[in-house]
């Protein structure tokens, strides 16, 4: 079998060159930059630290950029908002993007609104008020989803197009397109890459909604790798159906000979703990046995307390799974 590629995510927790060197020394193959939270230009210092760490380690890691795409996120808050279960709030308390506001106006009473990959759950009470069903802290730029309610938005933002034009100059090796709904989304991104003379950059199609699942087979010829992005995919389907969805996507990719990545909460407990749970280690192990070409850490390295340790556990678990599967 091919060696499984291992990625982390750049962020404040791993911005120090020494931390990046530790992570790369553990066997990291590349890093992802989430452009929903920053811009290539704004991340210049972080990217320079990444390149310097790679040079010091004598390696040539990949750099993936995760576009904004049609993903919907809360706007900028002056400060995080604590929401208690049972509270009723005005719909305008949170800076929802315009497509979400339109959808909330038209959606039926009882419509669910999931925030931050489903950590918070709001319920529409009427046109102006929402009830907090699952509380927590609402923060800027966190994801918003209305399960079962279609919200139409373009495949790429203007910022996405600018980032694609800059990608080669920043050493980007792969572009991740979120919330792919059909092959037209991939055509649009591929066209932008061609216009930027960046045909060498790989295209990753993130499956995060039921449209992506339904059109999976038509996507395969037009991307280099499928990404089973379990965060928002776990909002699009009931959580107990997520494992079966992951298995079905993996099976289709294997049969077609298409590479696929598994990502989100691989070692989530290590955001705040130095050691993962047994369940998380088993999840990573089974991802390799299912044929994943790559796996990725997100918040564990971007904002976690133990980024290098998280990479160490991921690498060791993946390599052990590779030995087992021979």
Residue among 5, 21, 32, 142 flagged as catalytic: 32
Of 221, 215, 189, the C-alpha closest to 66 is 189
3-class SS shares of the chain: helix, strand, coil, % to 5 = 45, 20, 35
Is residue 10 within 8 Å of 43, Cβ to Cβ?
A: yes
9 flagged as catalytic = no
Active-site annotation holds for 278: no
- Angstrom distance (rounded) from CA 183 to CA 75: 29
**Distance between CA atoms of 35 and 206, rounded to whole angstroms?**
14
- Is residue 182 within 8 A of residue 211, CB to CB? The reply is yes
d(CA 58, CA 160): 31
Can 2 be counted among the known catalytic residues? no
Spatial CA neighbour of 208 closest among 186, 239, 178:
178
Read out DSSP for 14-25? Answer: G-SHHHHHHHHH
* DSSP string covering 276-289: --HHHHHHHHHHHH
Rounded to an integer, what is the distance from CA 302 to the centroid of its chain?
A: 12
- Active-site residue (options: 5, 73, 258, 312): 73
Burial class of 246 by CB neighbour count within 10 A (0 to 12, 13 to 18, 19+): buried
In degrees, to the nearest 5, what angle opens at C-alpha 259 toward C-alphas 256 and 264? 125
With beta carbons less than 8 A apart as the criterion, state whether 104 and 113 touch.
yes
CA dist 208 and 176 (Å) reads: 12
- The Cα–Cα gap between 308 and 12 comes to 13
Cβ distance 297 to 8 under 8 Å? yes
Under 8 Å between Cβ of 82 and 137: yes
Catalytic residues: 32, 73, 206, 264
């Amino acid at each position: 079998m091919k060696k499984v590629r291992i990625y982390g995510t750049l962020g404040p927790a791993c911005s120090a060159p020494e931390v990046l060197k530790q992570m790369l020394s553990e066997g990291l193959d590349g890093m992802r930059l989430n452009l929903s939270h920053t811009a290539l230009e704004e991340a210049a210092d972080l990217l320079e630290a990444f390149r310097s760490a790679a040079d010091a380690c004598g390696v040539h890691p990949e750099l993936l950029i995760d576009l904004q795409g049609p993903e919907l996120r809360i706007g900028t808050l002056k400060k995080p908002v604590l929401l208690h279960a049972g509270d009723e709030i005005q719909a305008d308390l949170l800076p929802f993007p315009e497509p979400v506001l339109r959808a909330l106006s038209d959606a039926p009473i009882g419509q669910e609104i999931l925030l931050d990959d489903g950590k918070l759950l709001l319920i529409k009470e009427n046109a102006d008020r929402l009830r907090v069903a699952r509380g927590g802290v609402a923060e800027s730029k966190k994801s918003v989803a209305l399960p079962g309610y279609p919200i139409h938005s373009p495949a790429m933002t203007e910022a996405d197009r600018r980032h694609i034009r800059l990608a080669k100059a920043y050493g980007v090796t792969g572009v991740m397109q979120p919330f792919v709904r059909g092959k037209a989304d991939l055509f649009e991104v591929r066209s932008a890459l061609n216009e930027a003379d960046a045909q060498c950059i790989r295209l990753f199609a993130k499956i995060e909604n039921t449209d992506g699942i339904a059109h999976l087979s038509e996507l395969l010829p037009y991307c280099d790798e499928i990404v089973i992005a379990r965060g928002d995919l776990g909002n699009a389907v009931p959580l107990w159906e997520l494992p079966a969805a992951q298995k079905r996507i993996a099976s289709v990719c294997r049969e077609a000979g298409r590479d696929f990545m598994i990502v989100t909460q691989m070692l989530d407990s290590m955001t705040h703990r130095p050691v993962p749970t047994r369940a998380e280690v088993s999840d990573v192990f089974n991802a390799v046995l299912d044929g994943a070409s790559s796996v990725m850490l997100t918040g564990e390295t971007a904002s976690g307390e133990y980024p290098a340790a998280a990479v160490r556990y991921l690498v060791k678990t993946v390599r052990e799974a590779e030995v087992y599967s021979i």
